[in-house]
Structure 1
Amino acid sequence: MTATLQAPAFTKDQCAAGLRTAVNILEKWQASTEQACRILRISRSTHARAKLRNADWSVSLDPDQMQRVSFILNIHAALRLIFDNPENTYGFAAMPNHNEFFNGRSPLEVMAQGDMISLYESFRRIDSLRGAQW
């Protein structure tokens, strides 16, 4: 007999709340609709519904999509710890970054490539600025 581990299931309401928050953060980071959809791996229609902030709206997200939402929330939390002014907290993601990994691209550009590795590495590099050790 083999045991399989399953990721905890999220309710549709939890998915909607997380997605709304991530979309709001990406909007404050000045991400385009296309960038946000690639980062979160969602359709344009789901993105549009998430922006409506309709309390009755719910959505099912798969584990990959929820992990992407989690990375956006955690990057935002790290930026709030690093910076004490909104201009940097919300502007950092769109600023060109000349550190080795970003090579002159903004974190938003890198994350918008749409693959999980780019999103994870962007999170890891930004989180390390607050002194996090991996």
Structure 2
Amino acid sequence: MNAIEAANHSKSTAATGLKAAVAILEKWGASGEQGAAILRVSRSTYARAKRRDPAWEVSLDADQLTRISLVLNIHSALRVVFDNPENLYGFMSMANHNVFFHGRTPLEVMAQGDFISLYETFKRIDTLRGAGW
């Protein structure tokens, strides 16, 4: 694979990951504005990913790819913890009274847009499935 093919493959892979993360965020009940903030993409990029055009490609930086990975990993952790769709997809929109969340939903915390809020939410949810740090 030459450099041009590798770059195109990377854009295609990034678009696939972004589309998957957007689909999950939508199932969690995130608004377009929240989803764009969580993934640190423009609202237009978020909207294009939401359309799931198979030919669409996008260039993303390392921070954006890491954010996508965290959303996918949160979803994976929730799939281990919950076997019913109401909790699997509803948990992120439920008020959480643990110290870190202070009555806010995990989605609200992540939608602040800063990386640490997303990462700390991931850590706490990952712990639910018994992952040790």
Q: Same fold (TM over 0.5)?
A: yes
Matched residues in 1 for 2:114 and 2:47: separation? 22
4+ residue runs of structure 1 moved beyond 4 angstroms?
none
Matched residues in 2 for 1:121 and 1:56: separation? 34
Q: Secondary structure at the match of 1:87?
A: helix
Structure richer in helix, relative to its length: 2
Tell me how large the CA RMSD over aligned residues is.
Answer: 1.0
2:29 matches 1:26: no
Pairs within 5 Å for 1:43-58: 43-58=42-57
CA deviations 1:28-55 (Å, max 9, x no partner) are 0000011001000001110111011111
Matched residues in 1 for 2:123 and 2:50: separation? 27
CA deviations 1:62-106 (Å, max 9, x no partner) are 000000000000000000000000110000000000011101000
Matched residues in 1 for 2:12 and 2:77: separation? 25
Amino acid corresponding to residue 92 of structure 2 in structure 1: A
- What is the number of equivalent residue pairs in this alignment? 126
Matching residue of 1:67: 66
| Consecutive unaligned residues in structure 2, runs of 5 or more | 1-6
2:41 matches 1:42: yes
TM-score, length of structure 2 as denominator length: 0.93
Matched residues in 2 for 1:95 and 1:14: separation? 31
- Percent identity over the alignment? 67
TM-score, length of structure 1 as denominator length: 0.92
Amino acid corresponding to residue 28 of structure 1 in structure 2: K
